[in-house]
């Protein structure tokens, strides 16, 4: 645990502003062409007789952002929770490219190992900030928690890192010792993002990160997310109702209906030339507004 | 005189066996909280029913019992518990730390170093050190099982962020043998170092919360801290006004209506034996030999 913490700690400040992970490979460094970061195979989850999601398969490559759209009840959250280890799927495998052992099925790995991933290489941004924050702990403490969880034991350094991250999500340093209860919804969501990204995760899961926010607040958050994704070369899976969100953030898009993936492809292709009747309806209903 | 209406030390033999099993398990896994079926005792919970049950299961007819509350043998709580065991077990009692074989305590560890052959029984109100930030019992159990103790440092971080230093003065969390994080009961942090490498057996009983935990002799106990905010076993910066002791934990006592106050040893037996040995503090009177 300590050794992983030590290994992680120096990683994050060195995050290159060069852009997506894919670009690093292309730049001709001695990095071997890696396989997918995440390989999802035939994931299915039922709630009794009701289908949550079924037969979902896809690969996520390093540095790639996958958007998942679909109407309410189509299985987006169910799928995301299965992928992120928050819900046990009934069928299928979720292979993740771990640091130590390469591709490992996170569904069947031991719980300690999965929880370790959950606070190091994975991050989860909840729709409701209060589900992802400790509301009785200061903003600085919220950001510092993941650092302390992997062994950081120097108060001054933890504080510096927290301050740096609050700055990156546009929260004033003088709000650092305030609790999230004193923050607006948009600030809480930005704090949640900082808290998740501070350890330099390799894969971020987001469930409606802009949901429940005012339109102008949404726009600012989206801008910020886009900057972070580009700057850190984040790999991410983003669930949303909002096609504008995927247009801005996602390289690829998956459209879900009744628990099934009905169409997937490059975001622009899917949005500009939808093949499936349901996707056509989804796109037209939004774009005509 | 033993009150013959009761079994030796009040509890029936079967209950004592159950408690002893919990104690032995606790000794085998230092710092681990062992659940036990706490019994109703003829006193309210706040009076240390957990400690009383552990003492009852530990006492033998040959033992000599000492009971202290905040370091003093003559406070109501200490006197009642001592009388209780005088009546129900008929054991000898003493105020001299070195002569006692079993010492039940609330809020202090005696100043005289404890030795092999002695048993120190702590009364514990809240055994779970993680409770402050994580109210879910299922979650705290998992955190102990998986050694996920980052949250403990979040608590210390919050302390420093709010007060400029680690303001926790009582129940200061410790790590036992590099494994379990443990609440030492509300002893002042001044006493924390005495728990480590101690010759006596240390037993902790929480009645309301139904938990027993233990430290076998010569166990390593380390107080949690940050590299740049190291643990300090602090006490009032003064000497005892009665016996002149400079290294004992002091209580501040108001002596008159005019705001007069003196510092005296909280360990009354320690203070008295020093005065009997001829030590005199600033306000003390020479003892007539
Ligand atoms: N805990 C549950 N118990 C029973 N059924 C559930 C549960 N959670 C989800 N479902 C059902 O599973 C299906 C998929 O739900 P899910 O929450 O994954 O959809 P979603 O696409 O995230 O919807 P939304 O956009 O409203 O958040 C729905 O039919 C839903 O009613
Ligand atoms: Mg949902």
Residues of A in contact with B228 (CB under 8 A): 154-156
Span A4-34, pLDDT tens digits: 444 444 333 333 333 333 334 344 445 555 7
CA of A127 relative to ligand 1 center, distance in Å: 14
What is the pLDDT, as a whole number, of residue A17? Answer: 38
What is the pLDDT, as a whole number, of residue A11? Answer: 38
Query: What's the whole-number mean pLDDT along residues B4-25?
Result: 91
Give the C-alpha separation, A101 to A121, whole Å.
14
Q: Which residue of B132, B144, B226, B230 is the best one to mutate when testing the A interface, meaning the one whose CB has the most A CBs within 10 A?
A: B226
State whether A138 and B148 contact (CB < 8 Å): no
What is the pLDDT, as a whole number, of residue A4? Answer: 43
β-pairing, B102-106 with B64-69? parallel
Higher pLDDT, residue A5 or B196 = B196
State the ligand closest to the CA atom of A78.
Answer: 1
Give the pTM.
0.87
Span B129-159, pLDDT tens digits: 999 889 999 999 999 999 999 999 999 999 9
Tallying the residues shown for chain B, one arrives at 289
State the ligand closest to the CA atom of A241.
Answer: 1
User: What residues are paired with A60 via a beta bridge?
Assistant: A38
Query: What's the whole-number mean pLDDT along residues A266-278?
Result: 93
What is the pLDDT, as a whole number, of residue B259? Answer: 85
Interface size A-B, in CB pairs within 8 Å, comes to 55
Query: What's the whole-number mean pLDDT along residues A67-88?
Result: 95
CA of A76 relative to ligand 2 center, distance in Å: 6
Give the C-alpha separation, A95 to A97, whole Å.
7
Query: Contact B208/B52 with Cβ under 8 angstroms?
Result: no
CA of A43 relative to ligand 1 center, distance in Å: 15
Instruction: Tell the residue number behind the tokens 């009150």, with chain if given.
Output: B3
A1: contact with B, CB 8 A cutoff: yes
pLDDT of B3 strictly over 90:
no
Query: What's the whole-number mean pLDDT along residues A239-253?
Result: 91
Alpha carbon A253 to chain centroid, angstroms: 14
What is the pLDDT, as a whole number, of residue A97? Answer: 96
Instruction: Kindly tell me the sign of the dihedral angle through the C-alpha atoms of B163, B166, B170, B175.
Output: positive
State the ligand closest to the CA atom of A68.
Answer: 1
What is the pLDDT, as a whole number, of residue A215? Answer: 85
What is the pLDDT, as a whole number, of residue B117? Answer: 96
Supply the DSSP string of chain B, one letter for each residue.
---TTSBTTBS-HHHHHHHHHHHHHHHHSTT--EE--PPP-SS-GGGTHHHHHHHHHH--TT-EEEEEETTBSSSHHHHHHHHHHHHHH--EE-S-GGG-SEEEEES---SSPP-TT-EEEEE-S---TTTTT---HHHHHHHHHTT--HHHHHHHHHHHHHHSS----BS--EEETTTEEE---S-BGGGHHHHTT-SSEEEEEETTTTEEEEE-TT--EEE--BTTB-------SS--TTT--SSS-EEEEE-STT--EEEEES-HHHHHHHHHTT---TT--PPP-
First-to-last CA distance in chain A?
Answer: 51
Closest atom of ligand 1 to CA, residue A74: 21
| CATH code given to domain B3-223 | 3.40.50.11310
Atom 4 (ligand 1) nearest CA: A47
What is the pLDDT, as a whole number, of residue A19? Answer: 38
Fold type of domain A38-218+232-286:
Rossmann fold (3.40.50)
CA distances from B286 to A223, A242, B243 (A): 78, 84, 10
Mean pLDDT, chain B, integer? 94
Query: Contact A241/A207 with Cβ under 8 angstroms?
Result: no
Phi/psi of residue B235, each to 5°? -150, 170
Query: What's the whole-number mean pLDDT along residues A219-245?
Result: 90
Mean pLDDT, chain A, integer? 87
User: What residues are paired with B254 via a beta bridge?
Assistant: B261
Give A52's Cβ-side CA count (13 Å radius). Answer: 18
Residue of B26, B205, B243, B284 marked active site: B243
- Write down the domain spans for chain B: 3-223, 236-282
% of chain A surpassing 90 pLDDT? 71
Strand order in the sheet with B119-123: B34-35, B211-215, B201-206, B119-123, B102-106, B64-69, B92-93
List, chain by chain if needed, residues with CB within 6 Å of any ligand 1 atom. A 47, 50, 52, 70, 72-78, 241
Atom 27 (ligand 1) nearest CA: A72
Closest atom of ligand 1 to CA, residue A80: 18
State whether A155 and B228 contact (CB < 8 Å): yes
B240 is catalytic: yes
Tokens of A78: 């169910």
Measure the CA angle with vertex A245, ends A244 and A247; round to 5°. Answer: 60
Chain B residues contacting A, CB < 8 Å? Answer: 133, 146-148, 150-151, 153-154, 157-158, 160-162, 226-229
Residues of A in contact with B151 (CB under 8 A): 145, 148-149
Out of A14-18, B34-38, B199-203, pick the least confident. A14-18
Instruction: Kindly tell me the sign of the dihedral angle through the C-alpha atoms of B183, B184, B188, B194.
Output: negative
Phi/psi of residue A139, each to 5°? -55, -45
């Amino acid at each position: 645990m300590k050794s992983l913490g030590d290994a992680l700690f120096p990683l994050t400040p060195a995050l290159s502003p060069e852009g997506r992970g894919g670009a690093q490979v292309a730049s001709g460094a001695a990095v071997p062409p890696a396989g997918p970061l995440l390989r999802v195979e035939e994931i299915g989850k039922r709630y009794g007789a009701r289908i949550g999601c079924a037969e979902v398969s896809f690969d996520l490559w390093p540095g790639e952002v996958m958007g998942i759209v679909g109407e309410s009840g189509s299985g987006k959250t169910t799928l995301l929770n299965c992928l992120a280890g928050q819900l046990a799927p009934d069928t299928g495998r979720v292979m993740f490219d771990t640091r130590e052992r390469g591709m490992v099925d996170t569904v069947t790995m031991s719980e300690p190992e999965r929880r370790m991933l959950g606070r190091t290489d994975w991050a989860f941004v909840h729709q409701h900030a209060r589900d992802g924050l400790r509301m009785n702990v200061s903003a600085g403490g919220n950001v510092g928690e993941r650092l302390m969880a992997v062994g950081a034991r120097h108060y001054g350094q933890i504080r510096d890192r927290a301050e740096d991250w609050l700055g990156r999500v546009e929260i004033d340093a003088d709000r650092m010792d305030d609790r999230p209860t004193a923050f607006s919804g948009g600030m809480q969501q930005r704090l949640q993002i900082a808290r998740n990204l501070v350890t330099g995760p390799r894969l971020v899961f987001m469930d409606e990160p802009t949901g429940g926010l005012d339109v102008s607040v949404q726009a600012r958050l989206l801008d910020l997310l886009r900057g972070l994704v580009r700057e850190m070369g984040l790999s991410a899976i983003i669930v949303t109702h909002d096609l504008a969100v995927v247009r801005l953030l996602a390289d690829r898009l998956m459209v879900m209906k009744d628990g099934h993936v009905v169409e997937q492809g490059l975001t622009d292709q899917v949005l500009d030339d939808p093949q499936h009747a349901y996707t056509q309806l989804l796109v037209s209903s939004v774009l005509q507004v | 005189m033993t009150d013959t209406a009761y079994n030796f030390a009040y509890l029936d033999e079967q209950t004592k066996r159950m408690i002893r099993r919990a104690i032995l398990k606790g000794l085998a896994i230092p710092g681990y909280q062992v659940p036990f079926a706490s019994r109703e005792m003829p006193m309210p919970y706040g009076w240390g029913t957990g400690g009383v049950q552990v003492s009852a299961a530990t006492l033998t007819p040959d033992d000599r019992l000492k009971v202290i509350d905040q370091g003093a043998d003559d406070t109501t709580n200490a006197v009642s518990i001592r009388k209780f065991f005088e009546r129900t077990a008929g054991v000898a009692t003493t105020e001299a730390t070195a002569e006692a074989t079993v010492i039940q305590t609330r809020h202090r560890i005696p100043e005289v170093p404890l030795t092999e052959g002695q048993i120190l029984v702590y009364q514990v109100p809240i055994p779970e050190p993680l409770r402050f930030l994580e109210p879910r019992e299922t979650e705290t159990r998992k955190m102990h099982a998986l050694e996920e103790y980052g949250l403990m440092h979040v608590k210390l971080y919050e302390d420093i962020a709010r007060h400029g230093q680690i303001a926790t003065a009582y129940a200061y969390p410790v790590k036992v043998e590099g494994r379990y994080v443990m609440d030492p009961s509300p002893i002042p942090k001044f006493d924390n170092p005495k728990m480590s490498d101690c010759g006596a057996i240390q037993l902790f009983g929480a009645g309301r919360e139904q938990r027993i935990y233990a430290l076998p002799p010569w166990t390593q106990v380390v107080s949690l801290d940050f590299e740049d905010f190291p643990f300090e076993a602090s006490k009032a910066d003064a000497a005892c006004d009665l016996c002149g002791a400079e290294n004992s934990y002091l209580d501040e006592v108001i002596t008159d209506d005019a705001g007069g106050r003196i510092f005296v040893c909280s360990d009354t037996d320690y203070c008295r034996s020093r005065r009997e040995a001829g030590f005199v503090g600033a306000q003390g009177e020479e003892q007539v030999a």
